[in-house]
């Protein structure tokens, strides 16, 4: 493998250094150079990003995304690992399917694709899936989720929590009471009342989170809450953490930036699950990300083909793209706001998501001897968002917006997957 040196990078603590990479690992951080020299002045070098919540859609929905196109989109967004959600067809509820997804990720070679296993067979919420078999498989699944659906039965949730505790696994809950959200279309509030769209009350999320942190406490197990979207959810997580409950939580980039006001145009590009909430919720989520109540940013990258979005609001699919824009929104919320710093950025985008999932070789601070998973970004760049990038889908909620920062290079296991903001051709390594 080629050796190279990234010359003059800025590290998360603000210091400058050269980073030498040899045979896939960081071989030096300091003043020396070796091999090819690549000028990286003005670029911030960070551990490769890790997404805990990605919909890659394969197997079954390849018209929306494939493991390869989703991996390419992830690399362009600065990621070196993604966790693939289980709501594929067939559902990733057996060792066979999770191993297939992992193999497709290895074949594409752009990022480490770590499959998430379903909690219940077929995501049907009736019977626990073979969690142990998925954990013991080549995919080594540690994170289980019925995402897209809520594990609504408290007995099943209790059993799942008790079971995964045996091998250090974690249940990631999509908190949505199904009865309180039947036919729901958008956040329940002043805007939904005005528009005449069926509301999606905050309590449908909050009541499930409250129940599940208590179940996790009773089981002495870990729980992770997907895509927090309300100020009330933040309060519950804050309370649970103060009580010592082993709970972690994620927020999506879109819930940090966009509000339910966007529904006024009836453009289904803004239809998402959980729904965009109010400005008050956005501010609470931002504060919680900064103070650590919310642990990480996860994209919930949810590609959909045009025919699922080019229709009236009520008929459209829920979801939006996220992989290629997440770092920009993280920069906007944490850095450009003046409210936080690059060290926190590293935590929410890389080290903490990796720690929650237990994924090996990812989310490690840049240090000599570690696997060279490195993302370099130009924080001074501005870019106008056009289209869906490498994704097979185009449901881009930031279309036409100017976002800060640009991923310039992504280095995965010592090789460039993105160089000068362009994809590098890959394949099985
Ligand atoms: Zn979800």
pLDDT tens string 207-239:
999 999 999 999 999 999 999 999 999 999 999
Mean pLDDT lowest for which of 12-16, 136-140, 246-250, 423-427?
423-427
- Are residues 174 and 55 both part of a single domain? yes
- Domain containing 375: what range? 4-44+370-423
- Of 146, 281, 300, 378, the catalytic one is 300
Q: Rounded CA gap, 357 and 226, in Å?
A: 13
Confidence of residue 205 (pLDDT cuts 50, 70, 90): very high
Confidence of residue 185 (pLDDT cuts 50, 70, 90): very high
Q: Two tokens at 372?
A: 């060279």
With residue 95 as reference, give the H or E element that holds it: helix 95-108
Q: How far is the CA of 161 from the centre of ligand 1 (A)?
A: 18
Q: How far is the CA of 337 from the centre of ligand 1 (A)?
A: 28
> Does the reported pTM lie above 0.95?
yes
- Are residues 24 and 56 both part of a single domain? no
Residue 136 appears among annotated catalytic residues: no
With residue 249 as reference, give the H or E element that holds it: strand 247-251
Q: Rounded CA gap, 327 and 74, in Å?
A: 11
- Are residues 204 and 167 both part of a single domain? yes
Residues with CB under 5 A from ligand 1 (ion): 147, 174
- Are residues 342 and 394 both part of a single domain? no
Give the residue from 307, 331, 357 where a domain finishes. Answer: 357
* Cα 408 from chain centre: 20
The dihedral formed by the CA atoms of 119, 122, 124 and 126, expressed in degrees to the nearest 10 = -70
DSSP SS3 for 192: helix
In a domain? residue 428: no
Which residues on neighbouring strands pair with residue 224, listed in sequence order?
A: 172, 248
Give the residue from 332, 357, 382 where a domain finishes. Answer: 357
- Are residues 173 and 249 both part of a single domain? yes
Q: How far is the CA of 83 from the centre of ligand 1 (A)?
A: 13
| Res 429 pLDDT > 60 | no
Q: Two tokens at 97?
A: 């399917």
59-115 tens-digit pLDDT? 999 999 999 999 999 999 999 999 999 999 999 999 999 999 999 999 999 999 999
29-68 tens-digit pLDDT? 999 999 999 999 999 999 999 999 999 999 999 999 999 9
249-274 tens-digit pLDDT? 999 999 999 999 999 999 999 999 99
Give the residue from 334, 357, 380 where a domain finishes. Answer: 357
Q: How far is the CA of 144 from the centre of ligand 1 (A)?
A: 12
Q: How many CB atoms lie within 10 A of CB 190?
A: 11
In a domain? residue 77: yes
Strands 415-419 and 374-384: unpaired
Q: What is the pLDDT of residue 426?
A: 87
Residue with the two structure tokens 């980073």: 19
In the chain, the number of structural domains is 2
- Are residues 333 and 226 both part of a single domain? yes
| Res 393 pLDDT > 60 | yes
- Are residues 58 and 36 both part of a single domain? no
């Amino acid at each position: 493998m080629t050796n190279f040196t990234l010359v003059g990078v800025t590290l998360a603590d603000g210091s400058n250094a050269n980073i030498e990479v040899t045979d896939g690992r960081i071989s030096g951080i300091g003043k020396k150079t070796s091999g090819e020299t690549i000028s990286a002045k003005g670029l911030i070098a960070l551990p490769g990003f890790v997404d805990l919540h990605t919909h890659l859609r394969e197997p079954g929905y390849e018209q929306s995304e494939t493991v390869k196109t989703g991996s390419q989109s992830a690399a362009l967004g600065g990621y070196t690992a993604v966790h693939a959600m289980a709501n594929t067809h067939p559902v990733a509820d057996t060792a066979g399917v999770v191993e297939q997804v992992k193999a497709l990720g290895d074949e594409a070679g752009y990022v480490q694709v770590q499959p998430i296993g379903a909690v219940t067979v077929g995501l049907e919420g009736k019977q626990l899936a073979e969690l142990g078999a998925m954990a013991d498989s080549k995919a080594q699944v540690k994170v289980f989720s019925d995402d897209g659906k809520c594990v609504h039965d408290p007995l099943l949730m209790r059993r799942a929590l008790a079971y995964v505790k045996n091998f250090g696994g974690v249940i990631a809950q999509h908190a949505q009471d199904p009865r309180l959200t039947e036919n729901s279309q958008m956040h329940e509030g002043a805007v939904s009342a005005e528009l005449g769209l069926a509301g999606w009350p905050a309590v449908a999320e909050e009541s499930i989170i409250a129940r599940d942190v208590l179940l996790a406490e009773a089981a002495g197990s870990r729980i992770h809450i997907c895509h927090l979207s309300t100020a009330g959810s933040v309060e519950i997580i804050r309370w649970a953490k103060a009580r010592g409950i082993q709970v972690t939580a994620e927020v999506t980039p879109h819930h940090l930036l966009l509000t339910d006001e966007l529904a006024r145009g009836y453009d289904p590009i803004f239809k998402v699950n959980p729904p965009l909430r109010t400005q008050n919720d956005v501010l609470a989520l931002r504060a919680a990300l900064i103070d650590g109540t919310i642990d990480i940013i996860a994209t919930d990258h949810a590609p959909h083909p045009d025919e699922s979005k080019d229709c009236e609001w009520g008929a459209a699919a829920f979801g939006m793209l996220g992989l290629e824009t997440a770092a920009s929104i993280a920069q906007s919320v944490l850095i450009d706001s003046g409210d936080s710093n690059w060290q926190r950025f590293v935590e929410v985008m890389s080290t903490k998501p990796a720690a929650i999932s237990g994924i090996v070789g990812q989310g490690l601070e840049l240090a000599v001897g570690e696997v060279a998973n490195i993302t370099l970004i130009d924080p001074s760049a501005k870019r106008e968002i056009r289209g869906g990038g490498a994704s097979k889908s185009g449901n881009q909620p930031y279309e036409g917006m100017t976002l800060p920062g640009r991923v310039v290079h992504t280095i995965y296991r010592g090789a460039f997957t993105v160089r000068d903001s362009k994809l590098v051709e890959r394949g099985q390594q």
